[in-house]
Amino acid sequence: MRFEDGRQSQNIEDRRGRRPGIGGLGGRAGGLGIGGLVVLLALGYFLTGDPTGLLGDLDAPGGLPSSEEAPPGAPPSDEAGTFVSMVLADTEQTWDQLFQEANRRYEHPRLVLFSGAVDSACGTTSAAVGPFYCPGDRKVYLDLSFFRELDQRFGAPGDFAQAYVIAHEVGHHVQNLLGVFEQSARRRAMGAEANVVSIQQELQADCLAGVWGHYAAQRGRLETGDLEEGLTAAAAIGDDRIQRRTQGQITPESWTHGSSADRVRWFRQGLQSGQIGACTTAGG
């Protein structure tokens, strides 16, 4: 990707190197409760073959220097943090424009960089769950070690693959501003299956990430091979591929994000159309 203008977002909170404020276990558990530790051990077994395989990551600073935290509101200065900040700034430019065209104001989300585990309005969360968006505080949370996993474990390297992940989480923020989460809550109350609603939301966020990619391409951000990197990443984190890798079988009834084919389809839909209206999964 190209970011010659060097513009970074001011909406970054760099919490790398900090432990969550909620204690209890101390040490390497990084403030997780007993239930969270059990889940982490199980994930460690599935992902690494070693129940303790992910515990070491709780002390690791995302594989990046983070002993010196940036002051609140200041963009990060390390290479990986700077890239995230530039991608976030580019999503802000896209969604500012599209919301303005719809006579609405886009409220910028904050992106929290953390290592190991983090406190949010959604509770204390381990990096093992991957990047996430918390609607309660309207923030995106990202442990940069996920990008290493995306490359080495999921076979999806490249800077645009990383940008797709960020844009997907920002897509959830767009959904929140558009009232999609409230609509989904009503659908669940009316008896819709939770995993069906979740998949529809995730696929719509993929499409919204593609909408951003459409305008990023128009601004000359993309280089040769970038689109392929993004589509590879979308395929790599489909539920079917992850289940085949971690448990040796596919159980569609337990999916939450959608198949590799569907994730690619909806990401491509946004890339080609550049229109929010093209992202009309049943979740939106």
Mean pLDDT per 10-residue segment, the chain (284 residues): 91 92 39 42 46 42 39 76 97 98 96 96 93 95 94 91 96 94 75 80 95 96 92 85 75 79 94 94 56
Question: How many alpha carbons fall within 13 Å on the CB side of residue 174?
Answer: 30
The total domain count for the chain is 1
Look at residue 87 and give its three-state secondary structure: helix
Between CA 218 and CA 230 the distance in angstroms is: 16
Pull the structure tokens for residue 97: 């424009």
Centroid of chain to Cα 257: 12
DSSP conformational letter for 107? P
Q: Which residues pair with 220 in a beta bridge?
A: none
Does residue 104 belong to any structural domain of this protein?
Answer: yes
Chain position carrying tokens 């299956």: 193
Instruction: Write down the pLDDT at residue 197.
Output: 85
CB atoms within 10 A of CB 84: 26
End-to-end CA distance of the chain: 30
Does residue 126 belong to any structural domain of this protein?
Answer: yes
Instruction: Write down the pLDDT at residue 34.
Output: 38
Instruction: Write down the pLDDT at residue 36.
Output: 44
Between CA 45 and CA 75 the distance in angstroms is: 36
Does residue 4 belong to any structural domain of this protein?
Answer: no
Does residue 1 belong to any structural domain of this protein?
Answer: no
Does residue 178 belong to any structural domain of this protein?
Answer: yes
Between CA 263 and CA 132 the distance in angstroms is: 17
Pull the structure tokens for residue 142: 């990202």
Instruction: Write down the pLDDT at residue 68.
Output: 43
Does residue 187 belong to any structural domain of this protein?
Answer: yes
Between CA 154 and CA 116 the distance in angstroms is: 20
pTM for the whole thing?
A: 0.79
Range of the domain at 136: 12-278
Closest listed residue to residue 31, CA positions, set 109, 127, 100, 99: 127
Q: Are 92 and 108 in contact (CB under 8 A)?
A: yes
Residues counted in the chain: 284
Does residue 7 belong to any structural domain of this protein?
Answer: no
List, in order, residues 6 or more apart from 71 with CB less than 8 Å away. none
117-120 and 123-126 beta bridge pairing: antiparallel
Instruction: Write down the pLDDT at residue 33.
Output: 39
86-122 burial by CB neighbour count: b if 16+ within 10 A, else e?
bbbbbbbbbbeebbeeeeeebebbbbbbbbbbbbbee
